[in-house]
Structure 1
Amino acid sequence: MGDGEETRALQDATSVAPSIRRDPVVDLARVACILLVVLAHLLMVGVTVDSTGRLLLSRPVEEQPWFVPVTWAGQVMPLFFALGGFTAVTSWRRRRAEGGAGTDFVRSRTMRLAAPALPLFAFVAVAASIVTLVGVDAGLRDAIVAGIGVPLWFLAAYLLVQCCVPWLAALHERAPWRTLAVLAAAAVVVDVAHARTGSREVGLVNVLFVGAFVQQLGFWYADGWFGRRTRLQLCALAVGAYGLAWVGVASGWHAANMLTNLDPPTVSLILLGIAQMSLLTVFHPALARLMASRSVRAAVSVVSARALTLYLWHMPVIVAVTALSLLVPDAASHPPDALWWAGRPLVFAVVLVVVWAVSAPLARFERFALIPPAGYRPPSATVIGVAAVLALAPLLGVILRSLDLALAAVGTLLLAASVVLDRGRPIRASTARPNRVRRARR
């Protein structure tokens, strides 16, 4: 298909975009991704006590011989970014059809992601300060705090590319193939530079290029490109993408462990994203039938309502549950002890229940006003830009240096400032007009 023909098809798709409804399969896939991440992180937390009473931390699942092959299916970052691209571009097209500006979209996405992160940063700052004052070993404290901050790595990259949606969507509508080609080429250049220099900081530039590419796949999904392919074509595309990823591994360019390829991001994640979106489309009819069940829809809806809070707070809960398990004899035994593995389903269930309970008072941070509340003046484009930078700064700091006490404290202040700026400025009572507040979860 030529670029002109593809552009006309995309224009036809975007002309009816305001009427596009949410895809239940996308909601199901997003929830599945979050639950898989929680399970993976649970299996990476092992604590034992040596003969001297000293705590020893380990990553049990990574010691298993089957772990590396499983990461080829378990690395769901590309899929989640692509699904986020689908929801973002459909939301942006609706907003644009209603007369909204790109800066309005950036404001909503910044608040949507920064507000839930604020209480986590504040919690870590306070908790780390307390354990420091009571004399907890600094190395143990830093390891725990860094572990709690692991989910923020994803949030930083996600917010970065989500803020670019209005501009990336415009490029997609003008030249979809060229946009993908440029992003892929830029990712390859960064990969090569990283391989030659060995600099992690150079490789981290692909947080933008790899993240943007897989997000663009969600735009193509929204336009129906994947849906217009036959099952055979989709399977061939998935096999080809996995094959190219394996070539990168066999040549020594990328790691066989797909989790390693996340930090810094590599082109292999682009290939995984293509394969995952192709397979999602292959199984879409079966998954749609599953979502036709009222009970399944209800369960997905319940989790989706607090998805970001569940994602951000599962690591503190895992740490707390693991610490409490030390009070139970043999509960913290180390793999390959069968008792440790046998207890994982129960611990997983306990973690989900506790995270859900914790999320109840925190869910308010997932709710935000699409327009400033009554008595507030909408922020200017400049203020929205500043708020986005303030929100991104501490999150990107987590990518560069891991979460620690100092970053948690500074991040709390910056995220709070971002939320305040995006809220807008109060209007004097004499000039204020009633303004109906609309709420949204997305």
Structure 2
Amino acid sequence: MTAVLSRPAAPATPAPPGRDVFIDALRLFGMALVVLQHWSMPVLSFAGGRISTGNALATGGAWVITWISQVMPLVFFAGGAANAISWRGSVRRGGAAPAWLAARLRRLVWPVLPLAAVWVPLPHLLTALGVPEQPVVTASRLAGQLLWFLAVYLAAVVVTPPMLRLNMRYGWRVPAVLTAGAVVVDVARFTSGLEVVGFLNIALVWLAVHQLGFLYADGRLGRPWAMALVGYGLAAALVAAGPYPGSMIGMPGAAVSNMAPPTIALLAVAIGQIGLALALRRWIVALVGWPGVSRLLAWAAPRMMTVYLWHMSALAAVTSVVVVGLGISTPEPGSQAWLSGWPHWLLMLVLAMFPLMRCFTRFETPPRAAPYAGGMARIVVALALAGSGLLVLTAIGFVPGRAPVLGAGMLLAGLALTWSPARSRPAAQPSPSPLDHGLMGFR
């Protein structure tokens, strides 16, 4: 891995300062594939007032698809590169860490507020209208579970400045140490039987992948095909030796999940995915240069956060009509009925997603405000409140009760602390490119 990580890789094409169209494309592709997977894998049926859920990827050897379709590692990798570019750009402009953290916090949390505003009262309204309670609770929980990513990513943003300093000093040794820590955690988890130990890998695994994004931003990731072979080869060996399951997402009834908490098997797949993406970088950049693809990415970029946050709501809406209302169950996964019905299912979900995008895309970008002028202590409190709110909503969802109200209130309080009173009219700032919007914009 030393040879793989330390050899510089020359950029395939020159990019404007502070921009990398490969990273733009990678994060959009990653989020699109997350949505496609979430929409494609549910196996649903409704009887006796209860909805039953399964996973189509648990059928036969379909789990192997997750070695490509579980793209959260690529999203964290792209996020690491984006955060490195953004932080260094802020430093060049004379920015301070509190102001940079405040801006990143606003971009991550602001789009969540309308989700909370809709879903906190919605379960109460639906049950009052006579909708069976169990499907409502299931949908309410799933709508909040998506926020795990924002909670972990926010933590990665917080530690970006010090981790970048470590990257400058120690380079590839930083992800190597994080990987070694993840190995120790897995050994302790599986030898002691204490599952709670494994949750330490939420930090170690995702920070290791995030750190690889720093190395990419420095041009220090080379030999991508070797990286892909090493990563996927290690993953195959770990799965063959056990106790790691083959699927890189949690499966119903599985004793072990590679995702929650993440394992070194998932980290190995992450290395393989990143290597494969880097090996294809030249072709990806060329594809992005096509006018049609460029226009599609420019259209999609300022909408991807909305799609990510609301795509499970679209799934809940279509399920409520088709499965609960009409009593149509999902056909046997992989059968002819399933394959022929899958495009129609996706079409209904896309149609349900469009009005949600029209309503909520406007919340992708927070309102303009004077630069944050508070101290680090205040922004630390804001980050703690926002992160805690995201964790509450991840763990509980929007299930009726006090917890969702508390979580939403913590988000709102954390966000409020990032605004400073305007002492004077802020200087005009250049409008960002469309590709700079979205989940991890560089500006």
TM-score normalised by the shorter chain: which range applies?
0.7 to 0.9
| Structure 2 residue 219 is matched with structure 1 residue 240 | no
| Structure 2 residue 430 is matched with structure 1 residue 433 | no
Which residue in 1 is equivalent to 2:253?
none
Which residue in 1 is equivalent to 2:343?
345
Which residue in 2 is equivalent to 1:250?
240
Which residue in 2 is equivalent to 1:36?
33
Cα distance in 2 for partners of 1:18, 1:286 equals 15
Q: CA deviation digits over 1:309-357, x for unaligned, max 9?
A: 1101000111101222248867534324533432222332332343233
Cα distance in 2 for partners of 1:397, 1:182 equals 30
Which residue in 2 is equivalent to 1:218?
213
CA contact (8 A) 1:18 1:94 kept: no
Cα distance in 1 for partners of 2:313, 2:372 equals 37
Cα distance in 1 for partners of 2:63, 2:218 equals 34
Please tell me the residue identity of whatever aligns with 1:415.
L
Which residue in 2 is equivalent to 1:96?
91
| Structure 2 residue 157 is matched with structure 1 residue 162 | yes
CA shift in 2, pair 1:174/1:333, >3 Å: closer
Which residue in 2 is equivalent to 1:26?
23
CA contact (8 A) 1:309 1:366 kept: yes
Equivalent residue for 1:128, pick from 103, 123, 130: 123
SS in 1 for 2:178: helix
Please tell me the residue identity of whatever aligns with 2:415.
V
Equivalent residue for 2:412, pick from 410, 413, 416: 416
How is 1:65-84 mapped onto 2 (pairs within 5 angstroms)?
A: 65-84=60-79
Shift in Å at residue 281 of structure 1? Answer: 1.3
Cα distance in 2 for partners of 1:214, 1:25 equals 17
CA shift in 2, pair 1:150/1:168, >3 Å: same
Please tell me the residue identity of whatever aligns with 1:78.
P
Cα distance in 2 for partners of 1:201, 1:119 equals 33
SS in 2 for 1:47: strand
CA contact (8 A) 1:47 1:55 kept: no
Q: Greater shift after overlay, 331-340 or 25-34? A: 331-340
Q: Greater shift after overlay, 198-207 or 155-164? A: 198-207
Which residue in 1 is equivalent to 2:359?
361
Point out where structure 2 has 5 or more consecutive residues left out of the alignment: 250-256
Please tell me the residue identity of whatever aligns with 1:291.
V
Cα distance in 1 for partners of 2:119, 2:325 equals 26
Shift in Å at residue 193 of structure 1? Answer: 2.5
Which residue in 1 is equivalent to 2:176?
181
Which residue in 1 is equivalent to 2:302?
305
Cα distance in 1 for partners of 2:152, 2:25 equals 22
CA shift in 2, pair 1:433/1:333, >3 Å: closer
Equivalent residue for 1:119, pick from 114, 129, 132: 114
TM-score by structure 2 length? Answer: 0.86
SS in 2 for 1:368: coil
Cα distance in 2 for partners of 1:128, 1:222 equals 44
Q: CA deviation digits over 1:250-284, x for unaligned, max 9?
A: 22232221113110011122222221111111111
SS in 1 for 2:121: helix
Cα distance in 2 for partners of 1:249, 1:377 equals 48
Please tell me the residue identity of whatever aligns with 1:243.
G
CA contact (8 A) 1:203 1:264 kept: yes
Shift in Å at residue 369 of structure 1? Answer: 5.6
Please tell me the residue identity of whatever aligns with 2:226.
A
Calculate percent identity across the aligned residue pairs.
Answer: 30
CA shift in 2, pair 1:436/1:364, >3 Å: farther
CA shift in 2, pair 1:178/1:327, >3 Å: closer
CA contact (8 A) 1:18 1:93 kept: no
Shift in Å at residue 401 of structure 1? Answer: 5.1
CA contact (8 A) 2:15 2:21 kept: no
CA shift in 2, pair 1:173/1:416, >3 Å: same
CA shift in 2, pair 1:402/1:268, >3 Å: farther
Cα distance in 2 for partners of 1:333, 1:416 equals 39
Q: Greater shift after overlay, 349-358 or 143-152? A: 349-358
Q: CA deviation digits over 1:365-390, x for unaligned, max 9?
A: 221367x33xx862322111111111
Q: CA deviation digits over 1:39-87, x for unaligned, max 9?
A: 111123333234xx53432224134213211111111111110011111
How is 1:305-344 mapped onto 2 (pairs within 5 angstroms)?
A: 305-326=302-323, 331-336=328-333, 338-344=336-342
CA shift in 2, pair 1:399/1:279, >3 Å: same
CA contact (8 A) 1:47 1:57 kept: yes
How is 1:219-298 mapped onto 2 (pairs within 5 angstroms)?
A: 219-226=214-221, 229=222, 233-259=223-249, 260-298=257-295
Give the total of aligned pairs: 421
Q: CA deviation digits over 1:92-126, x for unaligned, max 9?
A: 11111111122222212211111111221222211
CA contact (8 A) 1:110 1:163 kept: no
Cα distance in 2 for partners of 1:276, 1:90 equals 22
CA contact (8 A) 2:76 2:153 kept: yes
CA shift in 2, pair 1:380/1:18, >3 Å: farther
Cα distance in 1 for partners of 2:319, 2:272 equals 35
Cα distance in 2 for partners of 1:402, 1:145 equals 6
Q: Greater shift after overlay, 55-64 or 271-280? A: 55-64
Cα distance in 1 for partners of 2:270, 2:121 equals 38
SS in 1 for 2:51: strand
Equivalent residue for 2:100, pick from 80, 97, 105: 105
CA shift in 2, pair 1:330/1:415, >3 Å: closer
Q: CA deviation digits over 1:142-171, x for unaligned, max 9?
A: 222122223212222111112211111111
Point out where structure 1 has 5 or more consecutive residues left out of the alignment: none
Shift in Å at residue 400 of structure 1? Answer: 4.6
Which residue in 1 is equivalent to 2:385?
390
CA shift in 2, pair 1:192/1:403, >3 Å: farther
Equivalent residue for 1:139, pick from 129, 134, 143: 134
